[in-house]
Structures are given as structure tokens and as C-alpha cells.
């Protein structure tokens, strides 16, 4: 028996754009019965209009600051502080968090392929991109996607310019695990040693970002994005400025060309009207 191929790839972790299920496989690429809306499919992902917000029920973690981890109570033990909804505002073993619900996505060009930061990579830019979504306007396979950007601060080696692999867990105190001893330097040295990576002995914390294309939490059609939310100044797509967006962007050449076409159209209408009047009187 031959097993059927199961589409199962997850956008956030897969580097290759294959073996995935897409909206148009069930809904087609022209589901709206509206020529203007269906034309958007060429450069706008379905999720962009149909997922105007995420974390609709429970809050989602948007920021994680490792640098604040390690605080202890009077007895030297770790502790936690939660908000009214039970979300961790602070954990001694992990640091501070920022949560929110009903979050408006950020928007990026995405062609389905992703790059990832590897443990052997040196830091090339700040914030450090743990993954990078590929795509741009000129890429025929790229579309505008809604994205959750998870930001934070992570420990890194200031001399080798690499993110540090920490030793986090051990069954007992005194074995160098950060979650037991709260000693950054020892946890960094043992973690890098275990992973056979060099450690200079000097560390600090650096900003990082992780990009998660959003595919879940589709809203009812009555709650999809209205045109004005993108086609205006300071709208949802304000951060994507590598293309001309009607209603948002101002270009003298394009505007003058449009006005010219309108003017020529009016001249044509008047000329046609006058021609009909002249013909009417000539044929009387």
C-alpha cells in the first residue's frame, strides 16, 4: 500500500517552500466573485486580509528579556510574578516578559523560504535575526504576509561575537546550571563547552528578533480588513515602502499622468458630443 503524501510543513520552522498546504487548494485563487479583490491574490497572501489580529482569546508573548533573569528572593531561591491573567511577568530562570492580546500583525514580503541563525554564525547585525523571511516586491513568488515578531534580549559572547549556548538545567544546585545557580558565566562556560564551542569569558546581552508568519485565527468575513486600512498614509503597510500603493503614496509623475488621462477623457467626451450635435444639424 502506498501512503498518500501529507502536506505538513510549518512556515515558521521550514526553510524550503514545498510540501505545504495553501488556501487556494480549497478556496481557489479567485474566491471573492470580485475582480478587484481577486487581483490582490497576486501579491497579497489570503492571511493578510483574513487575519487582521491574532491572540484573540489568550495573550501571546511578544518580548522576552533574558538579561533580567537571575534575581532571587531573600533565601536565594528563584521566584515568579504573574499578571492578573496568570501570564508570567517575571521568572527568575528566564527574565521579564511582555504579553498582549488582540495584536495587530506586522507585515513583510515572504516567498515561503526562510534562513536561520546557526550556532556557528557570527552576529552580523543588531537586532540578531534568529530567522529571516525572504521575499521582496520584485520577487514574483513573494506576497505580503501578516507576521508576529517576537523580540527579546539574549546572552552573547562579546569577543567571539556569537550567541551563547547556556547550560540551563541540572538536578541539583552547584552543578553550574543557570536555573539552579543563577550564575551566567559558569552556565555560559559549561554550555559552550558541552556544545564544543569557544567561549571568551566575556558576555553581554543583545537584542534579537524571531519572525512567525501567521496562519491561524482566521476571522469571519465581516471582520476582514477594509481597503482603507492599507490604502492610506500611516496604514498597516506603512513599513513596506518598496512599491507604489494607491491611496498611500504620492508620486507626481503618476498623479499628473492620471490627471492627464482624465483631462483627455473629458476632451474626448466633449468632442464626441459636439460631433453628434454637428452631425444632427447637417442631417436635418
pLDDT digits (tens, 9 = 90+) for 19-30: 777 888 889 889
Strand partners of residue 132: 115
- pLDDT value of position 90: 98
63 neighbors 74 (Cβ within 8 angstroms): no
Residue 275 banded pLDDT, cuts 50, 70, 90 = confident
**Would you state the cell numbers that stand for residue 252, as one nine-digit string?**
507626481
Q: What does the DSSP assignment read for 94-118?
A: TEEEEEESSBPPEEEEE-S-EEE--
**DSSP one-letter code for 219:** P
Residue 1 banded pLDDT, cuts 50, 70, 90 = very low
Q: In whole angstroms, what separates CA 272 from the centre of its chain? A: 53
- pLDDT value of position 250: 80
Residue 5 banded pLDDT, cuts 50, 70, 90 = low
Determine the average pLDDT of the residues in 158-168: 98
- pTM to 2 decimal places: 0.84
Rounded Cα gap, residues 198 and 189, in angstroms: 9
- pLDDT value of position 9: 59
Placement of cell 547550560 in the chain: 167
- pLDDT value of position 8: 55
Determine the average pLDDT of the residues in 133-147: 95
**DSSP one-letter code for 17:** -
Q: In whole angstroms, what separates CA 148 from the centre of its chain? A: 4
φ/ψ of residue 248, rounded to 5: -110, -45
Residue 252 banded pLDDT, cuts 50, 70, 90 = confident
> H/E element holding 47?
helix 46-50
Strand partners of residue 54: 103
Rounded Cα gap, residues 215 and 14, in angstroms: 14
132 neighbors 184 (Cβ within 8 angstroms): no
Amino acid at each position: 500500500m502506498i501512503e498518500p503524501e501529507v502536506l505538513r510543513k510549518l512556515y515558521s520552522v521550514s526553510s524550503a517552500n514545498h510540501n505545504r498546504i495553501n488556501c487556494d487548494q480549497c478556496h481557489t485563487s479567485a474566491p471573492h466573485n470580485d475582480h478587484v479583490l481577486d487581483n490582490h491574490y497576486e501579491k497579497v497572501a489570503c492571511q493578510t486580509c483574513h487575519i487582521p489580529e491574532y491572540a484573540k482569546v489568550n495573550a501571546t508573548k511578544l518580548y522576552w528579556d533574558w538579561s533580567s533573569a537571575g534575581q532571587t528572593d531573600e533565601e536565594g531561591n528563584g521566584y515568579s510574578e504573574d499578571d492578573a491573567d496568570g501570564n508570567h511577568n517575571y521568572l527568575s530562570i528566564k527574565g521579564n516578559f511582555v504579553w498582549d492580546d488582540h495584536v495587530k500583525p506586522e507585515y513583510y514580503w515572504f516567498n515561503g523560504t526562510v534562513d536561520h541563525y546557526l550556532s556557528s554564525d557570527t552576529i552580523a547585525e543588531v537586532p540578531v535575526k534568529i530567522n529571516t523571511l525572504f521575499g521582496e516586491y520584485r520577487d514574483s513568488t513573494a506576497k505580503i504576509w501578516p507576521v508576529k515578531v517576537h523580540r527579546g534580549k539574549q546572552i552573547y559572547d562579546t569577543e567571539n561575537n556569537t550567541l551563547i549556548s547556556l547550560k540551563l538545567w541540572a538536578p541539583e544546585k552547584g552543578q553550574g546550571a543557570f536555573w539552579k545557580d543563577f550564575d551566567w558565566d559558569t552556565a555560559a562556560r559549561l554550555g559552550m563547552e558541552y556544545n564544543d564551542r569557544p567561549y571568551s569569558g566575556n558576555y553581554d546581552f543583545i537584542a534579537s528578533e524571531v519572525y512567525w508568519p501567521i496562519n491561524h485565527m482566521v476571522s469571519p468575513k465581516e471582520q476582514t480588513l477594509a481597503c482603507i486600512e492599507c490604502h492610506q498614509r500611516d496604514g498597516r503597510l506603512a513599513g513596506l515602502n518598496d512599491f507604489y500603493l494607491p491611496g498611500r503614496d504620492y508620486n507626481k509623475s503618476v498623479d499628473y499622468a492620471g490627471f492627464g488621462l482624465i483631462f483627455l477623457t473629458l476632451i474626448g467626451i466633449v468632442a464626441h458630443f459636439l460631433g453628434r450635435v454637428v452631425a444632427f444639424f447637417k442631417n436635418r
